[in-house]
């Protein structure tokens, strides 16, 4: 019984320590009294927790502030640049690696050579070398976060299927990277990583029920429901890209037909542009990202055919929004990644579909918006995976107290 009691006490202490960190992270400078009130902690407990976190260098005293009842108090704040994390984004053809501070500010970002179905093993080796070099150069890195395409089977450690580049499904991410470095590695499905990034770094309110709609080389969805990620039994929940929108539609690599991913992903759009041949001249020799960017530029410059294509893409995005609202009822749907760079025109087309097809009480309570994070926010999401684990379990990263 004594051992169980000690374990429980340790868990409570860690929970309280995490609560203090997360509150300061989200709210900025606070006094000890404000923290104690907000988190229902005794002054003695708060003093002990703050002393430990100050000793570790992750929070600091900021000097005098106006505290409770207008009394002068000593402020506490989160130290965002004390520790760093590495974020790794695995997309179909693109692997990016970056170093970030704990507020998501990029210190450096680099891309590996473009990946093909035949060079995935080389890309995996490149990640090993690049992360090892960054860890050697930066002793302040405390964790690595990785964002991988879905459907990601988290209990197994691999992706069940990556449309258009199926060799990615042979990579055993946990076996490859789980214990490969001097710091812990956390692996998450890319859209769920994006949802974490939105919650941590977005300038706008996101609420407790957030859907991040990843519109990249594939189509993904990350859902935060009442503060927690929706994962599913195997970790493969919320795979909106493989929801059929046309039972007689295009065949998908997953075995289904009419999958959303076959109509509004960067790969599908690029395929359409290559078949058209004239809408984006030279599209065949472009990357998926560059071909889409060229289409969006043409639309913004007044090309009526390009505008019609963006409207068409936006309607398909809207069909996905309808499913998201009916299935998950989020406060906010954030459109992000490559296709969101089509901008307001795409958003308007998607919203018009929602207006036609969703119950008024649901559509009126759902804010659909473009992401305010960088266009390639998935690498920031990878960093957010590591940062979220740091905030939730700080003792795993901090040096033992004497």
The answer to whether 110 and 101 have CB atoms below 8 angstroms apart is: no
Band of pLDDT at residue 222, cut at 50, 70 and 90? very high
E strand residue ranges, 45-132: 59-66, 72-78, 84-90, 95-101, 106-111
Whether 253 is covered by a domain: the verdict is: yes
Quote the number of domains for the chain: 3
Angle at CA of residue 130, ends 124 and 135, nearest 5°: 125
In a domain, 402, yes or no: no
Asked whether residue 47 is assigned to any structural domain, the reply reads: yes
Q: Tell whether 298 and 366 lie within a shared domain.
A: yes
Same domain, 349 and 225: yes
Judge if 278 and 336 occupy the same domain.
Answer: yes
* Residue 339 counted as domain residue: yes
Report the C-alpha gap between 334 and 370 in whole angstroms. Answer: 6
For residue 31, tell me if it sits in a domain: yes
Tokens 């859209």 sit at which residue? 191
Instruction: Tell me the average pLDDT of the chain.
Output: 90
In the predicted model, is pLDDT for residue 395 greater than 70? yes
The answer to whether residue 133 sits within a structural domain is yes
Evaluated on CA atoms 249, 252, 255, 258, the torsion sign reads negative
Q: What pLDDT score was predicted for residue 378?
A: 83
State the residue range of the domain holding 325: 203-372
Domain containing residue 52: CATH number = 1.10.10.10
Residue 401 lies in a domain: no
Judgement on whether residues 94 and 124 belong to the same structural domain of the protein: yes
In this structure, are 190 and 338 located in the same domain? no
Q: Are residues 93 and 164 in the same domain?
A: yes
The predicted model gives 64-77 an average pLDDT of: 74
Residues 359 and 386 in one domain: no
pTM over 0.85: yes
Average pLDDT over residues 221-240: 91
61-65, 147-151, 210-214: which has the minimum mean pLDDT?
61-65
Token pair of 132, please?
Answer: 């090892």
**Same domain, yes or no, for 181 and 120?**
yes
Q: How far apart are CA 248 and CA 206, in angstroms?
A: 36
CATH number at residue 115: 3.30.420.40
Measured distance between the N- and C-terminal CA atoms of the chain, rounded to whole angstroms: 26
pLDDT band at 10 (very low <50, low <70, confident <90, very high): confident
Tell me: do 42 and 106 sit in the same domain.
Answer: no
Could you report the per-residue pLDDT of 330-345, keeping only the tens digit for each? 999 999 999 999 999 9
- Clarify whether residues 242 and 271 are in a common domain: yes
Asked if residue 100 is part of any domain, the answer here is: yes
Beta bridge pairs of residue 95? 90
Name the CA radius of gyration of the chain, rounded: 23
Residues 181 and 105 in one domain: yes
Which of 50, 78, 106 represents a domain boundary (last residue)?
78
Residues 368 and 387 placed together within one structural domain of the fold? no
């Amino acid at each position: 019984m004594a051992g169980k009691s000690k374990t429980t006490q340790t868990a409570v202490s860690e929970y309280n320590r995490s609560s203090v960190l997360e509150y300061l992270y989200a709210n900025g400078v606070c006094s000890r009294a404000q923290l104690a009130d907000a988190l229902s902690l005794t002054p003695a407990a708060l003093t002990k927790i703050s002393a430990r976190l100050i000793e570790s260098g992750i929070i600091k005293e900021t000097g005098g502030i106006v505290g409770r009842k207008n009394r002068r108090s000593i402020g506490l704040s989160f130290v965002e640049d004390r520790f760093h994390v590495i974020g790794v984004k695995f997309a179909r053809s693109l692997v990016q690696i970056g170093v970030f501070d704990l507020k998501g500010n990029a210190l450096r970002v680099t891309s590996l050579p473009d990946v093909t179905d035949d060079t995935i093993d080389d890309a995996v080796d490149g990640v090993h070398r690049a992360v090892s070099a960054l860890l050697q150069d930066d002793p302040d890195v405390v964790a690595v976060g990785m964002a991988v395409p879905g459907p990601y089977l988290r209990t197994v450690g691999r992706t069940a299927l990556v449309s258009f580049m199926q060799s990615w499904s042979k990579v055993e991410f946990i076996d490859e990277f789980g214990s490969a470095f001097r710091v812990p590695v956390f692996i998450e499905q890319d859209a769920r990583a994006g949802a974490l990034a939105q919650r941590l770094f977005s300038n706008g309110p996101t609420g407790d029920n957030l859907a991040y709609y990843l519109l990249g080389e594939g189509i993904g969805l990350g859902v935060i429901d009442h503060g927690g990620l929706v994962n599913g039994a195997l970790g493969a929940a919320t795979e909106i890209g493989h929801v059929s929108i046309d039972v007689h539609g295009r065949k998908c690599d997953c075995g289904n037909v009419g999958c959303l991913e076959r109509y509004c992903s960067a790969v599908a759009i690029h395929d359409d542009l290559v078949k058209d041949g004239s809408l984006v001249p030279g599209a065949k020799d472009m990357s998926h990202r560059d071909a889409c960017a060229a289409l969006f530029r043409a639309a913004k410059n007044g090309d009526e055919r390009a505008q019609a294509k963006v409207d068409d893409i936006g309607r398909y995005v809207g069909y996905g929004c309808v499913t998201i609202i009916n299935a998950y009822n989020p406060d906010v749907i954030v459109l992000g990644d490559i296709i969101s760079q089509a901008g307001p025109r795409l958003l308007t087309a998607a919203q018009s579909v929602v207006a036609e097809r969703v119950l008024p009480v649901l559509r009126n309570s759902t804010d659909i918006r473009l992401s305010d994070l960088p266009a390639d926010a998935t690498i920031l999401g990878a960093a957010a995976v590591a940062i979220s684990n740091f905030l939730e379990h700080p003792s795993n990263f901090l040096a033992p107290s004497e």
